[in-house]
Structure 1
Amino acid sequence: MTTASWNGTVVAESDDIVTVEGNAYFPRDAVREDVLRPSAEQTLCPWKGTASYFDLEVDGRVNAAAAWYYPTPKDAAQEIAGRVAFWRGVEIR
């Protein structure tokens, strides 16, 4: 089982992980909805497409744009459709 934790709290947990460029992508339904907050941040990857972000909020602390996903990934990245990855201090184990 792979977990994503931040601020002492497990925010995602699954045994169905897709790893791309060293990042673990969790199924969206494996991520706790109660800790996700929409973020206005977006970035562009030439081969995956446009990434959208979530802030994480745990126990009143916010980790800005700590989770990302590709709402409509390009054809080369279809394996991460419907999945979320983490960074900025989120521990993946």
Structure 2
Amino acid sequence: MPQAVLNGTVIADAPESEVLHIEGNVYFPPSSVKSEYLQESPTPYTCPWKGECQYFSVKDPTSGDLLQDRAWSYPTPYPTAFERVGADFSNYVAFWKDVQVS
């Protein structure tokens, strides 16, 4: 089962059948992410083929520090992105390298 772990705390986990692999990143379904560790970030970004991105800062469960823009999702991806990925990945969450995904 894929997991996203930060300093020993699991902040997302889901069966392999429910995660999506997009461009080398594991995207977790929104229901599998512990939202208390995420805080919306104002950082703007729009992917040319996926659409407008929502970044999140991730709260370090050990120190309480916020790690800026270490997670992201696409609330309303472009319809053509669904075709490219082969699934609806709206609001699925991926994590940057500070969060270990295995």
AA aligned opposite 1:92: V
* Match status 1:86 vs 2:95: yes
8 Å CA contact retained: 1:66, 1:87: yes
Equivalent in 56, 71, 82 of residue 67 of structure 1: 71
* Match status 1:2 vs 2:26: no
Instruction: Provide the identity percentage.
Output: 39
Paired residue total? 93
The DSSP-based 3-state class of the residue aligned with 2:42 is: strand
Q: Give the structure with the higher percent strand.
A: 1
Q: Whose Rg is larger?
A: 2
Report the CA distance between 1:10 and its aligned residue.
0.8
Show structure 2 runs of 5+ residues with no match: 83-87
Superposition TM-score, scaled by structure 1 size: 0.92
The DSSP-based 3-state class of the residue aligned with 1:80 is: coil
Q: Deviations over 1:44-93 (max 9, x none)?
A: 11100011111111231221111100111001223321311110411110
Root mean square deviation, CA, Å: 1.2
1:10-29 equivalent positions in 2, closer than 5 A? 10-15=10-15, 16-29=18-31
